[in-house]
Amino acid sequence: MSTSRIVELSARIAANTAALDAYLTSKNLPTPSFDIDGPHDCLVPKSEVDIEKARIAIAEDTTELRSLVLGPREYLMSCSHNDLLSLQATVRFRLTQSFPVGTETTFSSIAAFCGLRESNVRQILRHAIMMNVFCEPRPGVIAHNAVSRLLAEEKPIFDWLATNCNELWKAAAHTCEAWEKYPESDEPNQTGFSLANQTDKSIFEVFSQNPDRAKSFGNAMRSFTQGTGFELRHVVDNIHWASFKDGTVVDVGGSQGHVCFAVARAFPSLSFVVQDLESVITTAAKEIPRDVAARVKFMAHDFLTEQPVHNADVYIFRWIFHNWSDKNCIRILRNLIPALKPGAKIIVNDNVLPQPGSISKWQEKKLRDMDLAMAEIQNSRERELGDWRSLFKLADDRGVTGIVETTDMTD
Ligand SMILES: C[S@@+](CC[C@H](N)C(=O)[O-])C[C@H]1O[C@@H](n2cnc3c(N)ncnc32)[C@H](O)[C@@H]1O
């Protein structure tokens, strides 16, 4: 008799969980827990390839098993938009900041802190607890758990959640409307984001007039760099930085400079120019870490206009082109051409969409999520390898000269 899929999944989950548990025990590492002192991250180092694979397989297999045992109807009905509402309220009203970590509080104290009605605070928090944020040790008493503590203590992850709930979720909710209204548009100001914000401006134009929102978005980007597969070390380790000796690197759309800071620390003879919109640069330039300050300069530059830094050795675009439709990417690339000296390198660090079903569903879902986010905010998309090659060829006859795979999202 053949084994059913649910038994196959549960056996694999049991085996992988036992392997993970044995590893943690053997290394005296804490078991995963959402208790207030539980670890904020998975403690399996990336070098433990098999254990990390087992951990990701547990997450994938439990998701599939859950969906199967629910069945199609209950599965659909379990997809709740309200999951994002309690998370949005948590960050919007700074509930994680409303009482110190390690203490207890009440709905009425939190209501006094955030100015909401006590009954709304109770609704939000009791739903947030279902989402593993906060805990209620005794009826009416609220305390932090590991998740709310992380949001209370680490600004980049707080901003990641805030950007998702306040900016992207709102944009997503208006994206079908934008597709109906502007079916052929390649423009970044005819999107779900623009409709949600009742503006004819693009997300980056809106942010350029709202430094706080821009900063929060920048921090959200920084949080990505801490996620599996997106760590900055991939940029540091997989590009032959040493071959540029004491050259200059221009980070086009470099946000708050985190990429250049990481590369600068590893390659002390290189110099850097971080370019971004004026509003981003004004804030970022005030916060350059001392150890690299002498070699990293900030410069306001709109990459939809001609590149002002001529004769640099490298122009790096990290997570830029996926924000822009082909028409605009070609414009950005052509703006660079007059500045290029012979031998200058253009490095693009961006996602490459896989063929459907060719990687794990867990990884593929992350990339498909990102693909939709690009449509929501900029009328753009993630690209397959062939799309990248043809994009460069359209911008300039010389096309792409090399592709290096830099992610190691565990499969
Ligand atoms: C997705 S973020 C990537 C940031 C950074 N490269 C990184 O790897 O984290 C896109 C960046 O492009 C910047 N940007 C958007 N439009 C721009 C423009 N017209 N000129 C220059 N920078 C722009 C944004 O402010 C933002 O910092």
Q: Of 40-44, 112-116, 301-305, 379-383, where does mean pLDDT reach its minimum?
A: 40-44
Task: Evaluate whether the domain defined by 227-395 bears CATH number 1.10.3720.10.
Answer: no
> Is 50 exceeded by the pLDDT of residue 13?
yes
Ligand 1 centroid–CA 89 distance in Å is 27
What does the pLDDT read at residue 225? 67
How far apart CA 262 and CA 10 sit, in angstroms, is: 42
Q: Which atom of ligand 1 is nearest to the CA of 222?
A: 9
The CATH code of the domain at 83-152 is 1.10.10.10
- 61-73 pLDDT per residue, tens: 999 999 999 999 9
Please name the residue ranges forming H helices in 209-308.
211-224, 233-238, 258-266, 278-284
Instruction: Give the percent of the chain with pLDDT over 70.
Output: 97
Neighbours of 332 (CB within 10 A): 20
> Is 80 exceeded by the pLDDT of residue 52?
yes
What sign has the CA pseudo-torsion 302, 307, 312, 317? positive
**Who lines ligand 1 at CB under 6 A?**
204, 218, 221, 253-255, 259, 276-277, 280, 302-304, 318-320, 323
What does each C-alpha distance from 66 to 61, 62, 78 come to in angstroms?
8, 6, 11
Residue nearest to atom 15 of ligand 1 (CA): 204
- Helix or strand or coil: residue 122? helix
CA dihedral 389, 394, 398, 404 (to 10 degrees): -20
Q: How far is CA 62 from the centre of its chain?
A: 23
Ligand 1 centroid–CA 285 distance in Å is 15
Mean pLDDT of 47-67: 94
CA dihedral 289, 295, 301, 304 (to 10 degrees): -110
- 349-368 pLDDT per residue, tens: 999 999 999 988 888 999 99
- 156-170 pLDDT per residue, tens: 899 999 999 999 999
Domain boundaries, the chain: 5-77, 83-152, 154-218, 227-395
What sign has the CA pseudo-torsion 113, 116, 118, 120? negative
Question: What value does the mean pLDDT of the chain take?
Answer: 93
> Is 70 exceeded by the pLDDT of residue 406?
no
Q: Which of 87, 234, 60, 258 is nearest to 160 (CA)?
A: 87
Q: Is 234 a catalytic residue?
A: no
Judge contact between 260 and 288, C-beta under 8 A.
Answer: no
What does the pLDDT read at residue 409? 44
- 257-266 pLDDT per residue, tens: 999 999 999 9
- pLDDT tier, 284 (very low <50, low <70, confident <90, very high otherwise): confident
What does each C-alpha distance from 373 to 107, 215, 265, 367 come to in angstroms?
35, 19, 32, 10
The pair phi, psi for residue 383, each rounded to 5°, is -125, 145
What does the pLDDT read at residue 411? 35
What does each C-alpha distance from 78 to 81, 382, 383 come to in angstroms?
10, 28, 31
Do 83-152 and 227-395 fold alike per CATH? no
User: Which of 319, 351, 379, 406 has the most ligand 1 atoms within 8 A of CB, as the residue to mutate?
Assistant: 319
Mean pLDDT of 206-224: 86
Mean pLDDT of 95-119: 98
How far apart CA 263 and CA 270 sit, in angstroms, is: 9
> Is 90 exceeded by the pLDDT of residue 342?
yes
Q: Which of 157, 163, 160, 191 is nearest to 177 (CA)?
A: 191
Q: Which of 264, 165, 248 is nearest to 213 (CA)?
A: 165
Q: Which residues are 28's β-sheet partners?
A: none
